[in-house]
Copies of this chain bind each other. A is one copy, B any other.
Amino acid sequence: MTITITAFAASPDRGRGQARDMRLRWALEEVGQPYEVRLVSFAEMKEPAHLALQPFGQIPTFEEGDVALFESAAITLHIAERWPGLLPEDPAARARAITWMFAAIGTVEQPIVEAENARFQESDKLWHRERQPLIDGRIAARLRQLSARLGEAEWLDGAFSAGDLVMIGVLRRIGGSDLLEAHPNLAAYVARGEARPAFRRAYEAQAEVFRNLQRT
């Protein structure tokens, strides 16, 4: 059965792999599954056909036969359950890997999205600059805790897992920032993820969408 995911026709990040289809592409490359991509415009994302697949009008989505899913982390978990390579076999270790997926989305990404909301929707406000350190402080607190837990380990819990994939996808949103660089072990952790062949292939595939857009 063909796997089809959706991605931005015109990604706001200009092909730097920050759109959340990147996490699916990466997961599918890790487990060696080919996939097709349907590009959707911002207008199409708000139309009934797309809302039937993704009620919040976002990308990505995932379709394979009678399976239709949304939310990048949920799809990553589905991919990790369907094909080997992204979850340990030991039940306790598997549950911990899934825990890291939820921690990435619910605990670490929460203040990072808050900072993005401020940048995109509040940067014209007089108080934007005064408020920024408050948001940065929330991100910094989570990074300190994550850095302390990771320590000198290569990945969060044993072998590379879907938990690392989602966490690195989240941390890449602040890649290169002083907040992340303050923790060399976290910066190195992100770099280790980005160095994986599956990541490179996924990154190239989404970058190609942007290059094609520029050519047209």
Contact = CB atoms under 8 A, between A and B. Distances in A.
Contacts of A75: 99
B107 A69 contact: no
B56 A142 contact: yes
Contacts of A71: 99, 102-103, 106-107
Q: Taking each of A74, A134, A138, A148, which has the highest tally of chain B beta carbons within 10 Å of its own beta carbon?
A: A74
Nearest to A69: B99
Q: How many copies does the complex hold?
A: 2
Contacts of A121: 134
Interface string A96-121: 10110111011101110110010001
Interface string A117-143: 100011001110011001000100010
B109 A138 contact: no
A152 to B, nearest CB: 15
Interface residues of A, number: 48
Given A70-B103, A98-B78, A102-B73, A131 B122 contact: yes
Contacts of A122: 131, 134
A55 interface: yes
A92 B69 CA distance: 9
Given A57-B145, A73-B106, A92-B67, A125 B114 contact: no
Interface of A: 51, 55-58, 66-71, 73-75, 77-78, 91-92, 95-96, 98-99, 101-103, 105-107, 109-111, 113-114, 117, 121-122, 125-127, 130-131, 134, 138, 142, 145-146, 148-149
